[in-house]
A and B are shown apart, each in its own frame.
Chain A
Amino acid sequence: MKIFSAYVSNKIRKGLTVKREGNRLQFISFGKKSKNVYLSRFYPDFVFTTVQLPPVEDRDTFEFLLKNKIKGVLEENRNYLFLYFPVERISENEIKYDVYALPEEVYFETAQLLNLPVEQVVLFTLAPFSLIPFSQRLVEGVAFHFYADREKVIITVSEGDRPVYSRNIPVPEEIGEEYGELLYEHFNLTYTYISQNLQLQVKGVVLSGEAGENRELLESVRELTGSEPLVPSAETFIKGLSQKDFMEFFIPIGTAFLDERYDFSPYYLRKERKVNSLLKALTVFFLAIGVLGLVATYGVYSQYREKVERLKQIDGNIKKVKEEIKSTFGSPEEVDFFKRVFLLKNKAVETNPLYVFNKIYKLLALLEEEKLELYTTGNLQQIFITAEHSFDSVSEMVNFRDELNNILDSLKEFKIDKKVSTGKDGFSLSVILKLERRIDERE
């Protein structure tokens, strides 16, 4: 993520764009190239105090309790921004916190000074905190970090990532030759105070800004503390920036390493920012879904159009055919009449003896029928045949019988009742047949 980290003090406004890469930064530009802005402010009049409060998860509740507890040190009718660090657990229900507070308007004023919309401010902190990332990396245990430029001196004592003590001292403008002496004086005073009054075991001293470039100071500090002071090197913390620029942009570079634990931004704005980014993500998500939906809907709409067209076409066809049907005959009654005529005619064909006997012509050719009857009642058609036959030989009779049977077998359409009796002489046959079939009712 690219960050534009800016720093505001009395006269100095400094900023640079960097990118976080693991535990180092990558220098991008001295200009503003990102909408994620980290701000650090030199504001010596912040409130520092220590309170004991029960551990409360909800930030709003916690701040309410906090404000009540420390209202003695806050101005009335003024909104404050808080930062607090748990120091130690006093009892089951109480924790000791270091609390830092500053008036809310400082936040808005700082953004305004840089012409920045507050929406872009991801993190807002105080300059002393910007020194902590360096101390934390260089010193194990209590670190004494001494930063100086022509405008001010900032001293931050920290242990790990927790600030322990801080002093912010403006440097008079008219100071000249005595600058070095002034630095040493403040160093000496504060160092003594820390190690003697606060009884803190300083494990390492870090010098930065102009303090890191001042040889005399380095020498004096070595003498005073009995150990080698540490000067952060650009290489350890940022890629693509010279040591000189590193020292000059030391505070904004440190700010870029900070996280929300050091963020003074009004809690409601932070909440809103979180909500906004959530809403933004959701909006993008829904937009994507919406676009997909639109594509799908367009597809379905095209289908709809096609179907409507098809329907119109079919409707047109139907009208056309109806018209054609209508024009075929004069009237529906006429159609009905001719249909009935043909139906009746079909039935007449089915009952016609010529038609029926044609079906059994082989049988009629074989038999010398005495009686041949055909009845049609409803759908049932019955044929009765009576015939007498005499033969000259047995083989003739057998042949005749075989042929009769063959013919009758081939008449699949008929249900046949057969009665064949041999005459007394043994050479004559009496044949009585009943054939039945159903006539199809064709419409």
Chain B
Amino acid sequence: MKGSKMYPLYLLTVLGVFLVFTAYAVLKEVNLELDRKIDTLSQHYHRLLKKKTEYLILKEDVKRLNLKPVSKKEAVELVLETADRLVKMYDGKIVKDLVRNGKTYSITIGFDYYPESGADLYDFIKELTTPFRPIVLVRQFKLIQTAYGSKVYFEVEIAQPFIGNGNGK
């Protein structure tokens, strides 16, 4: 058989067919791998698109509210400034001292407020909670009606995130 003149041609054909099918199998496998990669990258791309939208909204909000980054030092100053003001104006007390939680400084102040009317209380709370620098969270609100009028006890957390590495105090 091996001596036959057809043999080399036959061998060549078989080899060719083998190569063609090997190429086919390899390409098929590569295509599968590419599909997986396309899937992964597409998912990644969509996550990025979502992130981009998120960022654009964030950017829009920042612009609208005219927010600026706050340094660590500024954060402490802002928190203490507001705390001081509340303490002075309403004879407040420090409930929880200045602490740093991650990249945020906060202090908790407790004080009494005697609203003249419901509208007054509304305005007071609104004024207290509107600013972004620093942010005020009302932790406790206790309204008691007395014979002399209303009395409200507020316990507020004055908090300010800051930018930077956040190392040290």
Minimum Cβ distance to chain A for residue B148 (Å): 14
Say yes or no: is B99 at the interface (Cβ < 8 Å to chain A): no
Interface majority SS (helix, strand, loop, mixed), chain A: helix
Cβ–Cβ < 8 Å partners of B51 in chain A:
325
State how many residues of chain B have any CB contact under 8 Å with chain A: 64
Q: Are A283 and B141 in contact (CB under 8 A)?
A: no
With the chains together, A276 CA to B3 CA distance in Å?
10
Cβ–Cβ < 8 Å partners of B132 in chain A:
341, 345
Say yes or no: is A67 at the interface (Cβ < 8 Å to chain B): no
With the chains together, A283 CA to B9 CA distance in Å?
7
Nearest to A314 among chain B residues (CB) is B41
Cβ–Cβ < 8 Å partners of A374 in chain B:
138, 140-142
Q: Are B17 and A369 in contact (CB under 8 A)?
A: no
With the chains together, A358 CA to B166 CA distance in Å?
38
Minimum Cβ distance to chain B for residue A177 (Å): 54
With the chains together, A310 CA to B17 CA distance in Å?
30
Say yes or no: is B35 at the interface (Cβ < 8 Å to chain A): yes
State how many residues of chain A have any CB contact under 8 Å with chain B: 61
With the chains together, A371 CA to B141 CA distance in Å?
10
Most interface-central of B9, B20, B56, B103 (chain A CB within 10 A):
B20
Nearest to B20 among chain A residues (CB) is A293
Say yes or no: is A31 at the interface (Cβ < 8 Å to chain B): no
- From 2 to 28 in chain B, residues with beta carbon under 8 angstroms from any chain A beta carbon are 3-7, 9-10, 13-14, 16-17, 20-21, 23-24, 27-28
Minimum Cβ distance to chain A for residue B154 (Å): 9
Minimum Cβ distance to chain A for residue B158 (Å): 10
Given A352-B125, A369-B143, A376-B137: A325 and B37 interface contact (C-beta under 8 Å)? no
Given A294-B20, A342-B58: A314 and B143 interface contact (C-beta under 8 Å)? no
Nearest to B146 among chain A residues (CB) is A370
Cβ–Cβ < 8 Å partners of A336 in chain B:
103, 163
Q: Are A351 and B139 in contact (CB under 8 A)?
A: yes
Nearest to B48 among chain A residues (CB) is A321
Q: Which residue of A276, A308, A370, A375 contacts B6 across the interface (Cβ within 8 Å)?
A: A276
Chain A interface (Cβ within 8 Å of chain B)? Answer: 272, 275-276, 279-280, 282-283, 286-287, 289-290, 293-294, 296-297, 300-301, 303-304, 307-308, 310-311, 314-315, 317-318, 321-322, 324-325, 328-329, 333-342, 344-345, 347-349, 351-354, 369-377
Most interface-central of A301, A303, A338 (chain B CB within 10 A):
A338
Nearest to A277 among chain B residues (CB) is B6
Q: Are A283 and B10 in contact (CB under 8 A)?
A: yes
With the chains together, A161 CA to B145 CA distance in Å?
135
Cβ–Cβ < 8 Å partners of B89 in chain A:
none
Q: Are A282 and B27 in contact (CB under 8 A)?
A: no
With the chains together, A341 CA to B5 CA distance in Å?
85
With the chains together, A325 CA to B44 CA distance in Å?
14
Q: Are B4 and A279 in contact (CB under 8 A)?
A: yes
Q: Are A297 and B70 in contact (CB under 8 A)?
A: no
Cβ–Cβ < 8 Å partners of A341 in chain B:
67, 132, 135, 161
With the chains together, A59 CA to B87 CA distance in Å?
121
Q: Which residue of B49, B141, B162 contacts A353 across the interface (Cβ within 8 Å)?
A: B141
Q: Are B17 and A286 in contact (CB under 8 A)?
A: yes
Cβ–Cβ < 8 Å partners of A370 in chain B:
144-145
With the chains together, A189 CA to B13 CA distance in Å?
61
